Amino acid sequence: MKIQVHIHPWTEEFLGMFPDYLIERYNRSYPGFTNPRPIDDLVEDMDENGIDISVLLPIDCTVSLGKKMSNDSIADMVKKFPDRLIGFASVDPRAGKSAIFELERAVKELGLKGLKLHPSLQEFYPNDKQYYPLYEKCVELDLPITWHCGMGFGMRHITADPIYVDEVAFDFPQLRMNIAHAAWPWHENCFMTCLARDNVYFDINAWRPKFLPPRVIEYANTVLTNKVLFSTSFPEFPSKLVVEQWQALVREDVLKKSWEDNPIRFLKLE
């Protein structure tokens, strides 16, 4: 089984959530990248590359940008392909109690299975204690969190260092977490957190694997074999290329862990 843990639904609604500066930078760096893609394109790409399940991640920037992708839209996509897609919710932590209410609705009414948080776009420090009630709700609902960490085109970076996630992981040892993108250029902080905290994983989304820092491959093949999570970055890069490059860089047993064993444990699919 192949599970990819970090896919954004590249629909018009999702792209409409981005600020203008980010769309401009994407268009300049990846011409055509901001053209919307229906969810059917993702499932077709999964079929072509032997990927069984994708985790869909929206982003809610209600406070920082006045924009969001709705959790209802994610739930509708999952309903269309219930055997192929797992939906996470997103809420804006800065929305306070309403964020907690929305998360509970997304789980209990919509059937979503985790939470996506983006400290850069949502402009918050993960370790700020005012957000701890949201994490407590995740523990209560047994939800994992995927955190955007590391670089983002044109974004603020000060809140994207995984050192802030490390404090949350220490305070909530039962809360499963994924540090996205290996948190480059703070990948050493990412590795420190994954080594120190049993509840923390990292993914390789938004990388062509051959360009990953050598230390990422070194750790994936050694002390963090049980923590690395696979994902393509559809539609940013050709998925076939990502799969082939990842296969060339890590051992066979690590491949299975990265796209089967570790995601199953992170998502509690068993």
Q: Which two tokens stand for residue 200?
A: 């923390």
Radius of gyration of the chain (CA): 17
Q: Which three-class secondary structure state does DSSP give residue 209?
A: helix
The pTM of this model reads: 0.96
Task: Say what the pLDDT of residue 234 is.
Answer: 94
Q: Which domains does the chain have, with CATH numbers?
A: 3-267 (3.20.20.140)
| Residue ranges of the chain whose pLDDT lies below 70 | none
Residue among 206, 154, 167 nearest 183 (CA): 206
- Identity of residue 86: I
Helix (H, G, I), strand (E, B) or coil at 202: strand
Residue 85 near residue 54, CB atoms below 8 Å: yes
What is the separation of C-alpha 41 from the centre of its chain, rounded to a whole number of angstroms? 19
Peptide bond into 133 cis (omega under 30): no
Q: Are 78 and 56 in contact (CB under 8 A)?
A: yes
What type of residue is 262? N
Q: DSSP E strands: which ranges in 148-195?
A: 177-179
- The pLDDT tens digits of the residues spanning 85-105 come to 999 999 999 999 999 999 999
